[in-house]
Amino acid sequence: MALLEIRNLSVEFATRTGTFRAVDGIDLTVDAGDVVGLVGESGSGKSVTSLALMGLIGRNGRITADRMDFDGRDMRTLSPRERRRLTGKDVAMVFQEPMSSLNPCFTIGFQIIESLRAHERLDRRAARRRAVELLEQVGIPAAESRMSAYPHQLSGGMNQRVMIAMAISCNPRLLIADEPTTALDVTIQKQILDLLVDLQRQRGMALVLITHDMGVVAETAHRVVVMYAGQVVETRAVDELFVHPRHRYTGALLDALPERALGRRRLPTIPGMVPGISDRPQGCLFNPRCAFVQEKCRRETVPLIADETGIARCFFPIESEGGPSA
């Protein structure tokens, strides 16, 4: 049984101009010990998906799903109280901006102890001991003395380590990391990603890594889910996806990477931009930007179509490696 099983999840927000579907019927399955990369450009709905999983969507948002099971329990029917017991304990999250996710008014020690006391019912002394251990585990030097430091006294990378320490403090079974390294330098990014992967392996946690950086996904994830305009457009094992993407959007996105254009001066681009709140097209959501668009793509909604190695939401997928053919 999968640890997390999501079917047809949608998140809608009420706006002045009508309802906006930020996440549009996505399916997501995460097994224990799996590392799933969720990639997409801004506006693709990847962060909203993670917030929905954590139960952090505000009041103006409406979540619907056919199925939303975590470890066999239906998350849709949990009472708020049960939900809170789950969130932060079995399902934990690391956010993008460590500086703004930590409370500037409290020491990092206090903030780690807070979740330990709430979820694990440890006494003060035991919680403190555990917090120091956690800080050591995430590679913070002089952990004991850092307990009384405030977030502004630490660097971005150190703060992100603190966030990770908090997230793993109650031994979560699923860790969602939303752009955990976007605000960090490459050398620190590498350290943090290595740390996340080490922790994931040691503890057998499942990790959902949300990012816009194709390189990060390629080096970290086992399986990749590509999102576009609120939909899943392709799901595949990592090696397969980067060697032979099937969806035209995935292909175009990879081609736009400078590392793929070595020796060429011009980068292949995708014209236009991700459709926003009011300009979602008919048919395939990518059709206005697709170089291989056919009449059918403009007319008909595309289902997710299974192939030998995964699924892609494309009527005319990229056939073979190398030459894209329409």
Partner 1 sequence: MIASKAPATAVDGPVIEAVNLKQHFVLRRGPFLPPQVVRAVDGVSFRLPRAQTLAVVGESGCGKSTLARMITMIDPPTSGDLLLQGRPVSEIAPRIRRQTVQMIFQNPFGSLNPRKRVGQILEEPLIVNGEGDREQRREKALLMMSKVGLRPDQYDRYPHMFSGGQRQRIAIARSLMLNPRVVIADEPVSALDVSIQAQVLNLLMDLQDEFGVAYLFISHDLSVVRHIARDVIVMYLGRAVEHGPRDLLFQEPRHPYTRALLAATPMVAPHLRRADRVPMGELPSPLNPPSGCPYHKRCPYTTTLCTTDLPVLRPVAGRLVACHHADELDPMAPVPVS
> CB of residue 169 vs partner 1: minimum separation in angstroms?
23
Distance in angstroms (rounded) separating the CA atoms of residues 64 and 68: 9
> CB of residue 67 vs partner 1: minimum separation in angstroms?
31
Distance in angstroms (rounded) separating the CA atoms of residues 254 and 318: 13
> CB of residue 141 vs partner 1: minimum separation in angstroms?
8
Distance in angstroms (rounded) separating the CA atoms of residues 303 and 301: 7
Nearer to partner 1, 77 or 187 (CB): 187
Based on DSSP, count helices (H) and strands (E) in the chain, helices before strands: 12, 13
Q: Is 48 in contact with 63 (CB distance < 8 Å)?
A: no
* CA dihedral sign of residues 205, 206, 211, 217: positive
**DSSP 8-class letter at 183:** T
Cα–Cα distances in angstroms (integers) from residue 140 to residues 108, 133, 163, 269, in the given order: 12, 10, 12, 41
Cα–Cα distances in angstroms (integers) from residue 300 to residues 94, 282, 284, 285, 304, in the given order: 38, 7, 7, 10, 13
Among 185, 198, 279, 319, binds partner 1 (CB under 8 A): 185
> CB of residue 272 vs partner 1: minimum separation in angstroms?
9
Among 99, 170, 218, 277, binds partner 1 (CB under 8 A): 218
Among 31, 97, 114, 219, binds partner 1 (CB under 8 A): 219
Number of residues that bind partner 1 (CB under 8 A): 42
Nearer to partner 1, 110 or 242 (CB): 242
Among 77, 123, 266, 320, binds partner 1 (CB under 8 A): 266
User: Which positions from 156 to 175 touch partner 1 by CB under 8 A, shown as an x/- string?
Assistant: -xx-----------------
Binding of partner 1 by 189 (CB under 8 A): yes
Residues that bind partner 1 (CB under 8 A): 41-42, 155, 157-158, 185-191, 193-194, 212-216, 218-220, 242, 252-254, 256-262, 265-271, 273-274
